[in-house]
Structure formats: C-alpha cells, structure tokens
Structure 1
Amino acid sequence: MGALISAFASFIANIFMKSFLANKIVLSFLFITVLPIVLYNLAYEFISLAYNLLISTLPEELEKPQFVGLAAWLLENLYFLQSLSVIASAIATRVAISAIPFIRG
C-alpha cells in the first residue's frame, strides 16, 4: 500500500514539475527575446516624444553650427565626433558602475 501511495505522489509531482519546467522555459524565452524589443520600442517612443517636444519649443531662427572647409575635413577624417561619442559612453559606463554598491571602480 505504501508503494502505491508513493507511486501516486511521484506521478503528481512529476506532472507539476513538467508544467513548472515548461512554464519556466517559455517565460525565459519570452524574457530573452521579447522584452528587449518591447523596451527598445518604449525607449524609441520616449526619445521621439522628447525630441519632438524640444523641436517644438526651439525658435525657428536658431543657428546650427555648420562645418565647412578644413574644419569639416578634419572632423570627417579624424572621426572627432565618433571619438566624443565613445568617450561619453565610457564616462556613462564608469558612472553607472560606480553607482553599484560593493564594486570598487
């Protein structure tokens, strides 16, 4: 009789374990694939909204810097703007890492 109860309990546990693993696999797949896409779209919408708000508040006659001649050639060939982007990313990463507790940086 004990073996019958044990077999029944293991059968029920096996069913629950299979459903748990199936749910875990499906949710992990969704978390890895769908969540970054949703967050990207959300960030894109937020940045687009902020950009449109900024453009609507700026005056029309605002002068934008125009690089021509030697300055434009130097900026293009020395990748000055791209290097500023890399430096800004490095500073942002450094600040983010220093904000994490228990990590020396």
Structure 2
Amino acid sequence: MENKMQEIVAWLDGKKGQDIVAMDVSALTSLCDVVILVTALSARHAQAMAEDLGLHFRQHGWPVLGVEGMGLGEWVLLDGGDVVVHVFVDEVRQRYNLEGMYAQAPRLWPRP
C-alpha cells in the first residue's frame, strides 16, 4: 500500500498537483485504506489529472471502481478501491475541508 501511495503522490506532483495530502483512513472507514487530496490549478486541470490518473491506474493494473465529478471538474473523485483520490479546485477543497473530516487519520504524505 505504501508503494502505491508513493507512486500516486509522485505522479500527481509531476502533473503539477498542489498541496498533496495522503491519509491512512483504514481505522476510520471501511470504504478505503488511503485518501489522497490534491488541488488542481483549474477545473480543466482537475479533469485532465483525473482522466490521466485513471489511465495511470490501469497501466499499473490497479482497479478504477468509479469516477465522479468529471462534468464540472471542481471536485473529481477517483475510486481505486483501497485508495481514493480527490482532485479539487482550491475553493471547493477549502469549502468541504476533508482534512478536517479526517483530522484523526495519520498523515502518510507529506511525511510527518
């Protein structure tokens, strides 16, 4: 799981993703083990990152169980089963504050 998370974080960083945060939520929810949050520079950037990330997952043989929010691109969720990636524009990320919702989750990235 650690290697997969690191690969995704490095990939998002290479695509100009901002303020990348990865959290171990396995003790808080049964939906996934890791949540990754990233801010895109625009809605179009969010859409492109999410679309390309889905391809990246498939190239690694990782499942893509669903993608939500591509239409507006302000908040795109990519469900990879054990890892869920949220790609936000800044305003939407601030409004929904998932970091606050998962405040008890240990941070995997950036390293503590």
TM-score (norm 2): 0.23
More strand by share: 2
Higher-RCO chain (CA-CA 8 Å, sequence separation at least 6): 2
Structure with higher helix content: 1
